[in-house]
Each structure stands twice: as C-alpha cells, then as structure tokens.
Structure 1
Amino acid sequence: MEFNNKVVLITGAAGGIGIAAAKKFAAEGAKLALVDLSQEALEKAAASIDGEKILLTANVAKEEEVANYVQKTKEHFGHIDVFVNNAGINGEFGNIVDSSVENLEKVLSVNVVGAYLGLKHVLKVMTEQKSGAVVNTASNGGLLGAPGMSAYIASKHALIGINKTAALEVADYGVRVNAVAPSGVDTAMMRSIETNAAKGHEEEARKGFEASVPMNRYATAEEIADLMLFLASDKASFITGSYYRIDGGQGTTSA
C-alpha cells in the first residue's frame, strides 16, 4: 500500500473533503491525525474511517492550538509524512460594498492565517526529518473571480501564493508543497454557498453553479481526495510549488 505506516495529518477532517481524504489514505495503510474545531464532529467522522487514528480539536487560526496539534501528532506517531492543509470556510455572500470587515477578517483568519500557521509548524517537523509532502486545499476561486465572494476569493488567491513560496523554502530539504484547486464540490460547504447566494432558492442556485461547469456537475469529495493522494505520493516525487485545477473545465472557459 502506497502510504503503509505513513502518518497523515489532516485539518478540516470532519468536513466532506477531509473525510474523503482520510478514508482514502487509511485504505492505503496510513496512520491518521485528524484535526477539526469540534470534538463531536470529529468523533462522528472518525466512526466511518478505518485504521489507526488520533482526534485533535483545534482552532486553526490560533497559533498555540496549531502548535499543539502538531506536537501531539509528532509525540504520538514520531513523525509526520503528509500534511493535508484543508481547513477552510466560505464566509458570507455579498458584494464588497455590502460586506462587513468582520466577515473578511473571519474568512482570512481561517483560510489564510490558519493555513499559514499549519505550514509554519508542520514544515519545521518535515525539514528536520528531511522528508514530507504537503497538500494545501486552495480553490479555482484562487485563480478566478466570483461576484459576492470577495473574502473567500481573496483568501484562496493568498493561499496559492503561500503555496508557491513554501515550496521554494523547503525544496532543499526533500519536502514538497502543492495545492489542489477545486471548483464546487458536492459537500456541506457548497450547500452553505448555495444558501448564501439565494436563500430560499437553493435548488436554482445549485443548477446555476453546475451549469457554469462544462461537465455540468459538482466534483465529488472523493475526486478531490484522489488528487490529494497522488500529490502526496511518490508518484509525484518531482512535483512541487504547483497547484492543480480540478474543476470540470470551468477555469478553461472562465480564465
């Protein structure tokens, strides 16, 4: 198995993509450290995931809590081979002139600060052991624009920049850093975006979002997880500093 006895640390592990990734890594023999904000949500998610695992609660926007989940993972398993830097939120929907600074700050605190802090502390471990692979969860929103989602779009543009920079900083240590950039994924986050975009008309919003994709559908969480596994694997041994659109062709028509 590709990840037999390797340690995979996943943030946002109780969400749709996090659960799908955890299941696929576990099926390939990985040991898991699963991080999310809610212990209850983690326990519910973990019930469907096989293999050895530890559950760690953390607010990824708080450095002491990030340092704690990294330390506990290393203490329990001895090393960290893969970091799926996945925690994220979409925030409120609204044009810039109607949006609050509080919404912007909340989204950036999780999607940018949280991802940055995860890299800061995990990469210390990986550079010391001179091995490791990171997969950041970006978005095709980090490449395009989307009316009403300025905070989210800004956060994912920032993450792609951080992804490139981190890869350059750790390349000499045998550590790789890449990102996935999905379009809409059929998860609870997309349900939230549909509600924010057209409360009371979610089905119409869904149809509109799907119609913007040449393949006329959302991605599944499992499809995103498959790309994550590839980027974390030895099959991607000469890939770093890159981001990979997984968007059904949406970026091809919109960029």
Structure 2
Amino acid sequence: MSKIAIITGGASGLGLATASRLAQEGVNISVVDVNEEAGAKAVEQLKGQGVDAIFVKADVSKSADVKNYVDKTVEHFGTIDYFFNNAGISGSGKFFLDTDIEEIEKIVEINLFGALYGVRYVAEVMLKNGGGAIVNTSSSAGVTGQDSVVTYSATKHAIVGITKSMVAEYAKDGLRVNAIAPGPTETPMVKEFYEANPKMKENATSGIPQKRLGTPEEVAELVTFLLTSNANYINGEVIRIDGGFTNTK
C-alpha cells in the first residue's frame, strides 16, 4: 500500500524536489503551498510520475489553514505517513535594527507558528494511526549565528527545539522527528534573496568549503532517506547539508 506524504512549501524549491523524489518511491503527495498556480503545476508533474497527488492552498501562519490541509489530506488519502514541514521565508537581509516590526512578525508567524501548527495537527493523526515520520526544515542559520538573518535564525533555532522535544514526548508512541539544516541552496527563495543582496551570495559561496551552493535535489535525497524506513532508528537529529559551511564555524 502506498505511503502518504504532506509537503508544505511543496510547489517549489526543496518542497517540490522532495515531492518529486518521494514520487519515485511511489509515495502519494499532498502538496501544500500558498501559490495556487504553482501548486496545480506540481500536482500535474507528480501525477505524470505515476502517483496520486492533491493540492491544498494554505497560509501556514493561520492555524485554520493548517488544520484544513491536514483534514483535506486525510479525507482524500485516509492517513498521513510522512510530513515534510518545510514552508518558510527568509526576510529582507537587513541587519536586525534596520528591520521593521512587520517583517519580524511575518517571519515568526510563517516559520515558527506555521511549523508548530503543522506538527501539532499532523502528529495527532500519525499517533492515532500508530506513528509516522516528520522532517522539519531548519537551516545553517539554525545551528550557528549569522548576520543579516536574526529573526530567521531565531525561528530556525526554534525548529531544532521543536524537533528534539517532540521526540522526548512521542518517540515511544512511534513518532520519528528529525530536522535538516541546509546551507545556501539554489532554491527560488534563496535566488531572490541573493539577487537583492548580491554581496551576500559572494560571501556565502566563498565561505563554503565545497565552493558552491547546494541543490534542491541533494536536499531531497536526505529528506527522503529520513522520512522512509531506511532511517527507522534515526530520531531527534539535526542533520547539516551545507558543503561543510557550518563545520568551519
């Protein structure tokens, strides 16, 4: 019987790459994103890969939207086996004291509240059905301090806390929760950030021992491994995938 995955931010970047990689394993996908047009294209692509897929539009900063994407997934597929809790935004790249309060609130609402709501509602379904696997998206900025991303970094450090504490509470009930900490990766969000802050791309690339950005496909391989049964005894880990970037910090 096919496994079922929910992927937030599933219409582009890490989310879409992971959806496509999971589809190669025969996993049916619930694509969650705020972008309806991109979500419809993602579903078309996944169905072309031979799996069933649905799109649910959601603003993850709203708890009602999160509950809705969980309910719609269960209504269509019957259960949830895997959850890639991935939706997030980066911010403007300004230093913290130059950042307006509205930007701080938006980043926290999407990156932190959105992740918490997702874990809350998805884990509830998983535990009723005997367990499941969750991968939360943290960041290299969630394991080290970095300038120009103070609020983003705060939310991504929080993802690490969510991951470890959920394991402390629910591993005994069949729940696995891990996090990934990607370094700079060639996603649409990162490309947009670096276009607005070109010097930061140069600084980031020069600071990566492998001297290049990561690819969404490389991250998708890691997420797929962590979600599937190949990683059954890995729990509560935060795995860096950054070309050695944070290893030198």
- Correspondence 1:16-55 to 2 at 5 A: 16-49=13-46, 50=49, 51-55=51-55
Name the aligned partner's letter for residue 156 of structure 1. Answer: K
- Correspondence 1:171-190 to 2 at 5 A: 171-190=171-190
Distance 1:129 1:216 in 2: 44
Q: Rate the CA distance shift 1:218–1:207 in 2: closer, same or farther, 3 A.
A: same
Aligned-pair CA distance for 1:107:
0.4
Query: Which residue of 2 is the match for residue 242 of structure 1?
Result: 237
Moved over 4 A (4+): none
Which of residues 2, 6, 9 in structure 1 aligns to 2:6? Answer: 9
Q: 1:124-167: CA deviations, max 9, x gaps?
A: 00111112000011101101112111111111011111111112
Distance 1:166 1:15 in 2: 27
TM-score under structure 2 length normalisation:
0.96
TM-score under structure 1 length normalisation:
0.93
**Matched residue count:** 246
Which of residues 179, 200, 204 in structure 2 aligns to 1:209? Answer: 204
Query: Which residue of 2 is the match for residue 169 of structure 1?
Result: 169
Distance 1:216 1:246 in 2: 14
Distance 1:89 1:12 in 2: 10
Distance 2:167 2:104 in 1: 27
Contact 2:31 2:42 in 1 (8 A): no
Distance 1:162 1:196 in 2: 31
Aligned-pair CA distance for 1:39:
1.1
Which of residues 187, 194, 218 in structure 2 aligns to 1:223? Answer: 218
Q: 1:51-90: CA deviations, max 9, x gaps?
A: 2101100110111111111011011111100000010000
Runs of 5+ consecutive residues of structure 1 not aligned to the other structure: none
Distance 1:131 1:164 in 2: 16
Distance 2:130 2:18 in 1: 24
CA RMSD of aligned residues (A): 1.1
Query: Which residue of 1 is the match for residue 85 of structure 2?
Result: 85
**Identity rate of aligned residues, in percent?**
39
